[in-house]
Amino acid sequence: MRKKLIAGNWKMNLDFNEAMTLIAELCEAVDGNLDQKDVLIFPPALYTRHAHEFLRNASSGIQLGVQDVAATTDGAFTGEVSASMAKVAGADYALVGHSERRSYFHEDGAVLLEKTKRSLEHGLNVVFCCGEVLEDRKSGQHFDVVERQLHEVLSGLNNSEWDQITIAYEPVWAIGTGETATPEQAQEMHAFIRNWVKEQQGDARAAVVRILYGGSMKPDNAAALLQQPDVDGGLIGGASLKADQFTAIISA
């Protein structure tokens, strides 16, 4: 049985005091309820070390990630944060391939492959995002798009590297639009992704890899989505910024 993973991507939100308050509220709300699920937060990179120390001092089971890492190792790359820096700061995970990075920063498969490699090399687990835009869905190309995104980055990984991979499906047309894929649509794509993993890595890997849904999951739709057999959790955006909403999704 795959353990559910509920991850909160805070994006570029919350000042320092708000972020620490939210972490404290989450620790109080969920730390006694982590036997059957994992909880992961992706605060802004500047807060990584503070978040790590807060969680450690609270003996919290909440895990910590960074929203992005550089495609290169340490060096003359102004403004970048390397995977090694993220790991030393206390991160357990790196988010790679989020739709906003693909769209706003024009990150393609080649760049995302390097980010994945750097993360794995430095002991970070990777939540790799894939998903289609509305035009792809309307034209019936959504499976082809997702398969290409998966193949560009994950097809060359070895078995031990796959131990550090979680996949997040983002129907881009359902992010921040108020739209949400139906549970049936989510299950259809998650099953497609799991079958792709099976073709690449075999039955055993496909049975254990976690595939998250990342398209406007909220307290009122979380239970229906999480009940789908191939939906192993959620990558939550806006709802992860409010402790009551995030914990309601965790409880779902």
Question: CA 64, CA 90: separation in Å to the nearest integer?
Answer: 7
Residues 6+ apart with CB under 8 A from 183: 221, 224, 225, 227, 228, 231
CA distances from 125 to 58, 86, 164, 169, 223 (A): 22, 11, 5, 17, 26
Q: Is residue 62 part of a domain?
A: no
Closest CA to 234 of 38, 30, 1: 38
Residue 83 · residue 112 · CB < 8 Å: no
Closest CA to 101 of 63, 128, 74: 128
Tell me if residue 98 is catalytic. yes
Domain range for 217: 125-236
Catalytic residue among 18, 98, 106, 161: 98
Q: Are strands 125-130 and 93-96 parallel, antiparallel or unpaired?
A: parallel
Q: Is residue 191 part of a domain?
A: yes
Q: Is residue 99 part of a domain?
A: no
Closest CA to 114 of 91, 80, 147, 90: 80
Q: Is residue 135 part of a domain?
A: yes
Question: CA 2, CA 232: separation in Å to the nearest integer?
Answer: 7
User: Domain count of the chain?
Assistant: 1
Residue 161 · residue 154 · CB < 8 Å: no
Question: Which parts of the chain have pLDDT scores under 50?
Answer: none
Closest CA to 64 of 132, 4, 9: 9
pTM: predicted TM-score of the whole model, two decimal places: 0.97
Q: Is residue 148 part of a domain?
A: yes
CATH code at position 199: 3.20.20.70
Q: Is residue 111 part of a domain?
A: no
Q: What is the number of other CB atoms lying within 10 angstroms of the CB of residue 55?
A: 20
Q: Is residue 15 part of a domain?
A: no
Q: Using the structure block, give the residue that is written with the tokens 């979680």.
A: 166
Q: What is the pLDDT, as a whole number, of residue 216?
A: 85
Q: What is the pLDDT, as a whole number, of residue 73?
A: 94
Q: Which two tokens stand for residue 173?
A: 């047309």
Q: What is the pLDDT, as a whole number, of residue 127?
A: 98
Tell me if residue 170 is catalytic. yes
**Cα–Cα–Cα angle for 228, 26, 82, rounded to 5 degrees:** 85
Q: Is residue 206 part of a domain?
A: yes
Catalytic residue among 100, 107, 132, 170: 170
Residue 245 CA, distance from chain mean position: 18
